[in-house]
Structure 1
Amino acid sequence: MGEILYVTGVSSHIVLKNYGTKWKLGMSSATETMCGQAFGAGQYHMMGIYLQRSWIVVAITTTTLLPLFVFSCPLFRSLGEEEEISIASEAISLWFIPGIYSYVFSSTIQMYLQAQLKNLIVGWLSAASFLLQVLLSMVFVSILGLGVPGAMVAFNISSWLLVIGEFVYIFGGWCPNTWNGFTAAAFIDIWPVLKLSISSGVMLCLELWYYAVLVLLAGYMKNAMVAIAAFSICLNICQWEFMIFLGLLGATSVRVSNELGRGNAKAALFSIKVILSTSICLGVVCWVLCLVFGNQISYLFTSDEEVAEAVSSLSTLLAFSMLLNSVQPILTGVAIGAGLQSSVAIINICSYYVFGIPIGLLLGYVVHLHVKGLWIGMICGVLMQTIVLSFMIWRLDWSEQVKKAYERLHRWILESSIESNQILPSSISI
């Protein structure tokens, strides 16, 4: 029982963490769109300005989300969660605050570096941060016996050291064309950046909060702690696999935005076909592995037989979720690269909250399929989103998207004066 309570407490608070960090990750995708198209168009000096504007916008947003973490326990109580789960989440909430501020910089810098094809440094820094977190977690949790606080300290230290490493790389002169130092130009034209950032945040968060809402709904079921533990384990497995396709999402958005910035619609379409084919092949492999090892995979996370049995009953549905994960992120990456976040946000609302969640509630609570019903509803929502996105992208006029990218870039452009090392307003008009 103690193990289940720990898992459900952490999982419930991760719901709040997801609300905060995924919002910032979504807003950071605006940086990916702007920097990617600017790089393709050869407007390298604008990338550093876009990065600084993103820091301003995302930092303000982060501060407005702090009450979610400060008042997590009463918030969970007001949502009707079990008292044990609400209390368990309270012990974790404040530890997340330093970490969420690290995302202000790490998520935006990652988009900035990826847009200029500096993926290798992002990979090395992320790998070093991960290894450091594992090492510190072993020291603080296993050796010093600090428990959850020790794990959170390890998380915060590794997160901020990642940011420091990224700062050293940028400020140390390894981005000479795209970083010209801090400038007051970052405060110019904040409103267009804010609008694109908000639409980007809404687009991605409506998608990722969908899973968090389903975890909350599982908390209202009979034997809620087992239901949440099983659901959370399956979501963790799904998100492990999703990280692979999240990387392909980044590759898609970078390639599409770069080619649109260059004015090459055919190359953008070719990039989509290549990445989508690769992603589907990987998805089929993950689908097969989950079908084969579905009954054993739960023991990677728990030794509780009741939870393991609940996870095994979801293994087939989990396999099909993995298969859908190989398509949907690529389509989202296309939307980010083309700057279509607002359209995708509307699709996500309809697919997830008008279609997926009601089906999950109906099957889970009315038909009494419990957690399995919620997961079927989740799959239905993702399937609907994938179908609509596929149709939207298939019908896109890519020549028109090239034109829109050109207009967006030249509407926001500031000219760089190499001699005076200042950023001057552009005289270009559209």
Structure 2
Amino acid sequence: MEGNMKESLLDFARDEAKSSLKKRIWSEMKKVLIVAGPAILTPFSTFGVHVVSQSFMGHIGPTHLAAYALVFTVLFGFVLGIQLGMVGGVGTLCGQAYGAKQHEKLGIYLQQSCIILLVVCVLVTPLFVFAAPVLRALGQDHNIADVAGDVAPWFIAVVFLYGAMYDCNAYLQSQSKNFVLSCYAIVSLLTHVLLSWLLVVKFEFGVSGVMSSTCLAFLIMNLGQLLYMVSGGCKETWRGFTALAFRDLGPTVKLVVSSGVMICLEFCYNMILILLTGKMENAEVAIDALSICLIITGWTTVVSGGFLSAASVRVSNELGRKDAGAAKFSIVTTLVMSVSIGLVLMFVFLMFKENVAYLFTRNAQVAEAFARLSPLVAVYVLLNSVQPVLTGVASGAAQQGIVAYVNLGSYYLVGVPLGVLLGYVFNLQVEGVWSGMITGIGVQTTILAFMVYTIDWDKQVFLAQKRINPRFVGDETTHYSSNNNSVTAA
């Protein structure tokens, strides 16, 4: 009788533990999706604007498609890497301040980031003004570079609009308030599709028609964000413009710059891939095929990028709340969700294969070249469901500086040399170049996984408190409960 009672109690305890774990997992999944959903939908629409632009460029002519791909991937990709990296830095600060309930600091961090990004946008403007000679100097086909020179000046407006858009998006995302922005993003994408069709197909305005529609699409997103912020959507965190944004810029600049370097090294990786391809035989076909591959991988990056944002926000929020255990639990949950979706996307892509190419080109040679690259795209999709989440975790813990070194070594000491070796020495052409680059991503993912696994999260809680409140009293031996926010001395 007593034995049966003990077994019943043990069974009850196990059932309660399972039920509690299920509730905790479901609760964390909802928190992740609140951030990841809009964080996927907004860049999905944003990237969709570029996909639509590239598609209409491709129907103008293959040279225009290659030119747009060069400007977007090489010049704009370089600038976008810096911008998104810097936005990630301010997202870390906003997330930790919001977790610590220091709401007034979020508006200050946003304004500081806008000041820094405005300076960066002005500094990079000459890249687009002198795009043609820059691309020729980088060894690209002169005919493609000349057409790129007509496309690039339009990107100056896009650069400024992008910087403001993602800056505000990171600020709202740290508060899980970016769902409204997804609606504006969808409206802008649909507007772009309709307007591009009218200007290019009906009225035959060519490049100017595509690019003016592109600029309008990003203007709609910016106006939507601004309207939401000033109309009371962020009462707790937006107190209006303040001169405090010009004080204590140093620490913000340091974190934002290191974050910019981290992401820029990733974006430059794709830039180098295009540049190496542009030096091969039949460069126009190779660039067109590769640009379609990058569109496909770009779509998957949008999904994994949503989980990157979710990982960064959830980790930074929990560190701000002094809960190391919740931060670790969130990492595992987010990673499992991202990999599951990555596997589904990989299998879906393998089912359709080269048929996708005809959405962007009518050239059979380009479609055939794309088909040869399909297996590499599948591998990239799988790796890309893991690596961004790990990067988001590091960003949430303000480890951007370390990740920058990891990216530098993995990409430029492993990936690029191996790609050159396989592509040029072994004459595997673009397949060889991309194989080497994917190997670099594999090395990066492995190192990041080890780094995240070995992070001392109690120490990260302490550092987060010092970051958002320099007068915080404590030392690195202070430990924080995994179940509550109480502090205990080691």
Same fold (TM over 0.5): yes
State the match for 2:168 in structure 1.
109
Is residue 2:222 matched to residue 1:152? no
Alpha-carbon distance, 1:278 to partner: 0.7
Per-residue deviation, residues 340-370 of structure 1 (Å, max 9, x unmatched): 1000000000000110000000000000000
Q: Which amino acid aligns with 1:75?
A: V
SS in 1 for 2:198: helix
Is residue 2:67 matched to residue 1:9? yes
Alpha-carbon distance, 1:412 to partner: 8.8
Is residue 2:161 matched to residue 1:96? no
State the match for 2:105 in structure 1.
46
Per-residue deviation, residues 238-273 of structure 1 (Å, max 9, x unmatched): 101111111111111111110010001111111111
| CA distance in structure 2 between the partners assigned to 1:8 and 1:238 by the alignment | 17
Q: Which amino acid aligns with 1:197?
A: V
Q: 1:412 to 1:9 in 2, by over 3 A?
A: farther
| CA distance in structure 2 between the partners assigned to 1:121 and 1:282 by the alignment | 24
Q: Map 1:254-273 onto structure 2 (within 5 A).
A: 254-273=313-332
Root mean square deviation, CA, Å = 1.3
Moved more, 202-211 or 285-294: 285-294
Q: Which amino acid aligns with 2:66?
A: T
Q: Which amino acid aligns with 2:166?
A: S
| CA distance in structure 2 between the partners assigned to 1:267 and 1:80 by the alignment | 50
SS in 2 for 1:139: helix
State the match for 1:175 in structure 2.
234
1:214 aligned to which of 273, 276, 297: 273
With normalisation by structure 1, the TM-score equals 0.94
State the match for 2:464 in structure 1.
405
SS in 1 for 2:312: helix
State the match for 2:399 in structure 1.
340
Q: Which amino acid aligns with 1:152?
A: M
State the match for 1:73 in structure 2.
132
1:196 aligned to which of 255, 260, 269: 255
Alpha-carbon distance, 1:292 to partner: 2.3
State the match for 1:326 in structure 2.
385
Unaligned runs of 5+ in 1: 414-430
2:431 aligned to which of 372, 375, 379: 372
Contact 2:414 2:440 in 1 (8 A): yes
Moved beyond 4 Å, runs of 4+? none
Contact 2:277 2:430 in 1 (8 A): yes
State the match for 1:424 in structure 2.
none
1:136 aligned to which of 195, 201, 204: 195
Contact 2:184 2:220 in 1 (8 A): no
| CA distance in structure 1 between the partners assigned to 2:172 and 2:422 by the alignment | 44
Q: Which amino acid aligns with 2:335?
A: L
State the match for 2:484 in structure 1.
none
Alpha-carbon distance, 1:4 to partner: 2.3
SS in 1 for 2:194: helix
State the match for 2:25 in structure 1.
none
Contact 2:307 2:389 in 1 (8 A): yes
State the match for 2:24 in structure 1.
none
| CA distance in structure 2 between the partners assigned to 1:132 and 1:250 by the alignment | 26
Q: Which amino acid aligns with 1:403?
A: F
Contact 2:68 2:148 in 1 (8 A): yes
State the match for 1:57 in structure 2.
116
Q: Which has the larger radius of gyration?
A: 2
Q: Which amino acid aligns with 1:395?
A: T
Q: 1:220 to 1:412 in 2, by over 3 A?
A: farther
Alpha-carbon distance, 1:182 to partner: 0.6
Moved more, 321-330 or 13-22: 13-22
Contact 1:254 1:337 in 2 (8 A): yes
Per-residue deviation, residues 207-240 of structure 1 (Å, max 9, x unmatched): 1110111101100001111111111111111101
Unaligned runs of 5+ in 2: 1-57, 473-490
1:350 aligned to which of 409, 415, 440: 409
